Amino acid sequence: MIKKTIERSNLSAFDKLTTAFIPRNSRVLDLGSGSGRIGGYLKENLGCKVIGAEINKKVAKTAKMYLDDVIVGNLEDKDIQQMILKRGKFDVILASAILEHLKEPEKFLKEIINALSKDAIILITLPNVAFWQIRFNLLYGKFDYTYSGILDKGHLHLYTLKSAREFIKKDCRLKIDKIEFDFPEVPILHYIKLVPVIGKKLNYWLYRKFPTFFAYQFLFVCAKKLA
């Protein structure tokens, strides 16, 4: 099977933001690697060595075209965790859109951080259940699960910015070094950009001033707490 090239243009804006924190030539563990899109980009464009972990056998087969290797199985399975730990130390653990699918994500992370090398980082993305569209739907009594997005039927946990921070700091015992946000454009706010001179700055200020309202998902740049 011929490998396809994964360019930066193939990534979403949020994936571009996330991968910007990954150093060149680093050793990356891509949890919930899916078809290998992000990991493939890291390998081809940043010279990273990428080991994926994916529960779906069919999807994992595709990911193997792009990554150095893929461990297939449930991340909460002890045998799978041991397989990951036996692969040596990683400079980066990428947990993008995966922890909300696990039954006990904090228990899994406490185990898997043993695979981190010194000064390594953990990149965690979590969806924001307080996103403005969900808030407005609640006004009309709607809270319907879907096949993708924030209310994905496969999500076992829902997070606000506050609960996400507590989950990472208290439950997972990680140190948060930086928080970034995914801000999809709100249609009505688009017109603010058209205001001469201050429009774009005002638009940016509104998003940053109320991130819990406008953010679709969060990115946490984390590290192990010092003993």
The angle at the Cα of 172, spanning 98 to 216, to the nearest 5 degrees, equals: 45
Domain at 69, CATH number? 3.40.50.150
In-domain check, residue 204? no
What type of residue is 133? Q
Note whether 100 and 155 are within 8 A (CB): yes
How many domains does one find in the chain? 1
Q: Is the pLDDT of residue 79 over 50?
A: yes
pLDDT per residue as tens digits for the range 67-76: 999 999 999 9
Please report the pLDDT score of residue 189 as a whole number.
Answer: 80
Q: Is residue 112 part of a domain?
A: yes
Judged against a pLDDT cut of 70, whether residue 171 lies above it is answered with yes
**Is 181 a member of any domain?**
yes
Residue 13, in any domain of the structure:
yes
Give pLDDT tens digits for 132-147.
999 999 999 999 999 9
Domain assignment present for residue 86? The answer is: yes
Class of residue 65 by CB neighbours under 10 A (exposed 0-12, middle 13-18, buried 19+)? middle
Structural domain that includes position 130: 8-185+216-224
